[in-house]
Homo-oligomer: A and B are copies of this chain.
Amino acid sequence: MQKKSKIPEPTIARLPVYFRCLMDLKNSEVTIVSSEELATRAGVKASQFRKDLSYFGEFGIQGLGYPVLHLLDRISVIMQLNRKHNAVLAGVGNLGNALIRYPGFSRWGFHITRLFDKDPAKIGTIVEGITIEDIDKITGRLNAQIGIITVPPDAAQETAELLAEMGVKAILNFTGKKLEPGHGVVVRNVDLTHELAILTYHLSTLKGK
């Protein structure tokens, strides 16, 4: 339990990709798949796929391949996708509104259950059946481990701290600000401007060709 036997972060980031490919195979009623085939679909090398899985156990049948349903099941357990997760969202602006309605979330078992904002004009209004609450008047613990932060950048840090205090253990941060949450809170940053900047960098290198 103390020994970490560290799993590489790139491996973890690839699991959802494998999961998605397996879903496609399941929908096509494929029952067994080779590492070669699955890796090709996922855009990685077969040996990398097998190596990635090896951190978690043995899921294949030698000489045959991987039973799609079984592997799907195992990965869903590893990633906790076998159960529903509640999430709260802070900052009901444009992006926040879009995420509330984003169908992908519920399809993967993520449900936004509470909404917070600071704007008095928004507080009390109902979005997708959820009443927007005053973030400064949160009472009691949230029944959610995930927090999605789409507030303006300057409010990012205080929002993160607030959510962490209320029991949030994982934060998806869209603000572009680096967050320093308390201990025991995981953060992932999604920065859309950075993504475009990386693309424009590559545009300049394409030109050279």
Contacts and interface: CB of A to CB of B under 8 A. Distances in A.
Interface range on chain A (Cβ under 8 Å from partner)? 35 or more
Interface majority SS on A: helix, strand, loop or mixed? Answer: helix
A13 B186 CA distance: 20
B170 A203 contact: yes
A160 B191 CA distance: 22
B16 A199 contact: no
A79 interface: yes
Stoichiometry, copies per complex: 2
A121 interface: no
Nearest to A13: B198
Contacts of A99: 98, 192
B43 A178 contact: yes
Top 8 nearest A-B pairs (CB, nearest first) are A98-B98, A170-B199, A16-B194, A80-B200, A94-B98, A94-B101, A186-B202, A16-B197
28 contacts: A1-B208, A12-B201, A16-B191, A16-B197, A20-B176, A42-B178, A43-B178, A79-B197, A79-B201, A80-B197, A80-B203, A81-B197, A85-B196, A94-B97, A94-B101, A97-B98, A102-B192, A104-B193, A105-B193, A146-B199, A146-B200, A170-B199, A170-B200, A170-B202, A172-B199, A186-B199, A186-B203, A188-B198
